[in-house]
Structure 1
């Protein structure tokens, strides 16, 4: 799921790998990896994490990848400034719709430049993932609905900042502060070091300290489902195979006054 900058520099001339710049369009236009396409995967908000919402999300993602000609012999390499909360989300969308082989440029464009990679202004038309009423096959097991979270048959993993988790910070777009009851906690950035993923054994230690087990299914969430993707791939690197994302995350949960929440320091879970 990861490729180093040196590997990408070596393999890019073969023509099979396609750099996908998931930074803001202005950054892509200014200076990007030569030949990179622009895809906004960050500003997407699922309308509701129910079956219709999840299906429409998958359809919209597939349509965006098809417009960019990604898939089969054109394998995307998602990148941002460093490995953060956006490039893993791009890969998650790609895998959600059943496309295979996608990669994250570990260390992002900063690692590319440090390795001696060329830079060029982005050219062409940018694209974005949007909700769609189309119908596509997709890996439903990679996304969790609100109903699935409520059933609490999986471990719920909150990867926001501690202030968000404990309810002392509230995003302006969220109706309530707090967390989903009985959530496990670790900050997603702790899985990264110097703009790259930590080694698998270090991530596994972080996950185990949070009370997670590879024997249990895990549902990650954050504010809008982006940091949750970073955590998902960190867990996968560490050998946790049964992981899905609650894409609506706290933004959606907080907006429904009927859903329970907790505030304050974490309890044992």
Structure 2
């Protein structure tokens, strides 16, 4: 039997890149999708993944991707990681440009790529027994925090889109999985959010023992798509042990109550 093929978005860095690499190790054929062709070429050289450069906020790019996929093989899984945050402004002081960008990359791109690839996922499900969709949202979709209004709103909207999709696909052998990570040490994501301020980005993780890394999220995604076809992980919320809740983060070494300082 041919290997199953997964389309992984956001594959040029962070969780998307880690997922593409992990799926290749697990035996999947992978198509890595992102805007930066140079980073994708490096992924292709190092892993043997196929790659396709596309801006997923552009309908023309998504249509070109869908056409290329239809001509080159099945789409057994869509792993949609692409997204992002910009700014830490209050709701009152928020930038319209930043908010528009966050809705485009987190919500509208998700709807467009689902719309474009569902016919191919349905074909793969008919031929292979099931197909998979996996969406990486965030704990920001679940709990609001000051300075996060734009990202909270965009990720909550994406999460609702995923939940609606699962209901709409009821009765079809297509799994809909949502992975919602908390603190993940992905420096590029944080730098982009903070406008390139590396010192501020370093402070986000300062003193936190073992925040999640991209490979941790990738491990869960690989498990989700490799689980038996009748098993669906509706929602996986994952955080480092140091982050008990969105607002409760331990900085410094983790100790049991009996430990001496």
TM over 0.5: no
Q: TM-score, normalised by structure 1?
A: 0.27
Name the TM-score, length of structure 2 as normaliser: 0.27
Greater relative contact order, per chain length (Cα 8 Å cut-off, separation 6+): 1
